[in-house]
Structure 1
Amino acid sequence: MAGDSNAAAARARAIPAPGRAGHASGGPAVRTPEGLAAFNAAPAGAAEAALLACCGSRGWARRVAAHRPYPTLDALLAAADEAGYDLHGEDLDEALADETSADLPPGTPAAAHTAWEAAQSQYESRFHHAFVICLDGHRPAEQLNQALSAIHTRMSHPPEKERAIAADELRRLARARLSRLIGRADTVGSPSVPV
């Protein structure tokens, strides 16, 4: 992440980080209630660094970390949602700049790669940030079609409308990543194809 120091990165290792957009692996996840306890007990810098793996806004990470301890994962997710709804201006710019476009899974036909790369390039040229979408609830086999359909639809939006949609998708992605960070993976498809 831009601006992270080596010390902050070292502290972040105390909390397993979820996978980021474009990576097929969700990374190690704590599957016990101790995941939330570890997050609540982590030093502020480590908690913020772990949260930055969920959403690239330092303001969002500071806000969510500052309200610890959280009694339940649902309380943490509600706080993350609230902070996500407040992403505007520079905080939203920072979060969008931290996202990267996803690569397609191995075995995807060459024609799909070509279509996807062209769509991403066109989107990034128009909106000046990576295309972000949370694909929770979609099976892996459906995710490419969902992403291609969404990117083509969203390309026609005026910049202000697309920025609002991207902010909502970031909030959904942050929620999915935070659930994996703490240890609850209760979604159908992996949100890690989010692009």
Structure 2
Amino acid sequence: MTSSTTNPGLARFNASPESEAKAALHEVCASSAWGSKLLAHRPYDTADDLFAAGDAAMGELTTADLREAMAGHPPIGRPKPGDPTSSHEQSGMAGVSEDLKAEMLELNLAYQDRFGHVFLICATGRTGEQMRDAVRDRIGNSPEQEREIVRTELGRINQIRLTRLVEEEGVRRP
């Protein structure tokens, strides 16, 4: 465990003004409820404490909160222009064939028609084929099953992004 005194990114996050910490948390997860829960528990003694708070907050999100969080994620294969985070996370789609890109677009649209939101998966480290296979597998799920899978996937994404926040860059100053 690394304490905030030896973890400069965590120390910066703990000491940053609330508006800056809120903005940094919004970059991690677009759910305002999730960010508020994490802000309410500052300062964190260790990064593990922050990660545990993130997991606990994820478990408490309502369906509406999950929708808000998902709204911050672009469809797989179409990262937000100018957003290095989504481009990096979806790098498994870079360089895939045009056929696979077209298939992912079709699958994304079918998934969105079925569930009313983007297909969400922790894309970090996955190939385009793995993401395609996952959407194929999940499109037959019930809305309730899919909501819990999305909650798990969001938790994974948030964990990666929180790690980056406290280990690499801390809170960015404007």
1:125 Cα deviation after fit: 1.0
Letter paired with 1:130? V
1:102 Cα deviation after fit: 2.9
Query: Paired residue for 2:122?
Result: 134
Q: Distance in 2 between matches of 1:102 and 1:93?
A: 16
1:50-69 maps to which residues of 2 (within 5 A)?
Answer: 50-69=24-43
Whether 2:47 is the aligned partner of 1:73: answer: yes
Letter paired with 1:114? A
Identity %: 38
| Residue among 103, 106, 117 paired with 1:115 | 103
Letter paired with 1:61? G
Whether 2:149 is the aligned partner of 1:165: answer: yes
1:133 Cα deviation after fit: 0.8
Whether 2:75 is the aligned partner of 1:101: answer: yes
Q: Distance in 1 between matches of 2:35 and 2:119?
A: 21
Q: Distance in 2 between matches of 1:47 and 1:102?
A: 27
CA deviation digits over 1:113-132, x for unaligned, max 9? 11111111111111111111
Comparing both structures, which one devotes a greater share of its residues to helix?
2
1:76 Cα deviation after fit: 0.5
Asked if the contact 2:76–2:108 (Cα under 8 Å) also holds between the matched residues in 1, the reply is no
Q: Distance in 1 between matches of 2:94 and 2:160?
A: 23
Aligned to 1:183, what secondary structure does the other structure show?
helix
1:107 Cα deviation after fit: 2.2
Aligned to 1:98, what secondary structure does the other structure show?
coil
1:1-195 maps to which residues of 2 (within 5 A)?
Answer: 33-103=7-77, 105-136=93-124, 138=125, 142-183=126-167
Specify every segment of 5 or more residues in structure 1 that has no aligned partner in the other structure, as ranges: 1-31, 185-195
Q: Distance in 1 between matches of 2:94 and 2:36?
A: 36
Q: Distance in 2 between matches of 1:56 and 1:177?
A: 12
Equivalences, count? 149
TM-score of the superposition, structure 2-length normalised? Answer: 0.80
Specify every segment of 5 or more residues in structure 2 that has no aligned partner in the other structure, as ranges: 1-5, 78-89, 169-174
Aligned to 2:28, what secondary structure does the other structure show?
coil
1:79 Cα deviation after fit: 0.6
> What stretches of structure 1 move > 2 A for 4+ residues in a row?
102-107
Letter paired with 1:55? C
Letter paired with 1:51? L
Q: Distance in 1 between matches of 2:94 and 2:51?
A: 32
Asked if the contact 2:28–2:158 (Cα under 8 Å) also holds between the matched residues in 1, the reply is yes
Output the aligned Cα RMSD. Answer: 1.6
